[in-house]
Amino acid sequence: MKSRSGLLGRLLLAPIDVYAMMTILILLAQIGIGERWSLVGLFNTFAQIFWLPALFFIPLALLLRSRRTLVLLLPAVLAFLITFGDHFVPHASLTPTADQTSFTLMTFNLFDDGRDSTSTVTLIEDADADVVAMQELNPRTAAALEEHFATTYPYRALHSDKGQFRGLGVMSKFPLSDDRYWDYDWMSVSLGHQSVRIDMNGQTLTLYNLHPTHPGMQGRFFDATLRGQEIDALLKEARQEAPPFMMVGDFNMPELSDDYAHIVHDYGFVDAYRVRGWGLGHTFTHGVVPFLRLDYMFLGEAVNIAEINVGPTSAGSDHRPLWAALVLQEQ
């Protein structure tokens, strides 16, 4: 009987050991090679999915008293906790003072594939954000937004004629000015970018509504090189902006990517979700359950985050919206 239970235990542990050794090899590749190897870039995108099983395998290894499996699983567990652990730590609240300007903002990749826009309009109406930044906006939805929100959002800057995935738009309850749409002609595939200035009770917030390219769109296997060059170009533009300033949108990148590190560590932008969000913050979904965090709000100088949440539904999009309450500092 003991031999049978021992055999069953070994059969259960064998695939877990293989999984654990693979994660160790990839971790070593991350450290030694980095995203110069496209497979590392691909792994960085799905790292939380690869590492998460280790947390559930630990109890099984303890139950079967396998020290070897525990040791092999430890690097994946530590990597997950170091990278994503602070997402599950309660954050201190921020309450605006009476003399500060506060507002709500939503960024949403609509995935405008020509479907009926009623659910999208309803989602935006229910969110009732002061400012709405949208990616992948097509003319059909833009017309519905113009009609439905003519009073709610009297200030609109919509670029819906750029193609199915290249449309961008901003709707606001505050006055807009200096609307600009651009892309980079040196890129083989570009999804476009937008900037506007928003007059918020005498303070001017510059908002970048961005949609960097996906590594799988450039005709090569998961090559993040052009995304990195594009984000670098955007950051050089952003550096010239006066505060308050912020960037939002579908960045098509994970937290572990070199591009994320470039934005946060090299340029000093604040990832709003890491400051006030709770949970993994997944916004990208194919089906019911979101499994990647691709949508961000990056705060520049003089913008603080009070609250941030991922929307509960997607209105048929392959993204869920990101909603936040923000506060401007007095200049």
Comparing 185 with 248, which gets the higher pLDDT? 248
Amino acid at 241: E
The phi, psi pair for 94, rounded to 5°, reads: -125, 120
% of the chain beyond a pLDDT of 70: 96
Domain 101-328 has CATH 3.40.50.300: no
CA distance 84 to 93: 20
pLDDT, averaged across the chain: 90
Q: Please report, for the chain, the start and end positions of each structural domain, with discontinuous segments joined by +.
A: 2-88, 101-328
Look up tokens 């949403």; give the residue.
Answer: 108
Comparing 162 with 267, which gets the higher pLDDT? 267
Q: Quick: pLDDT tens for 88-109.
A: 988 887 887 777 889 999 999 9
Arithmetic mean of pLDDT, 318-325 = 96
Look up tokens 């560590």; give the residue.
Answer: 265
Residue 4 has pLDDT above 70, yes or no: no
Q: Quick: pLDDT tens for 107-149.
A: 999 997 777 899 999 999 999 999 999 999 999 999 999 999 9
CB-based contacts of 13, cutoff 8 Å, min separation 6:
60, 61, 64, 66, 69
Amino acid at 245: F
Residue 185 has pLDDT above 60, yes or no: yes
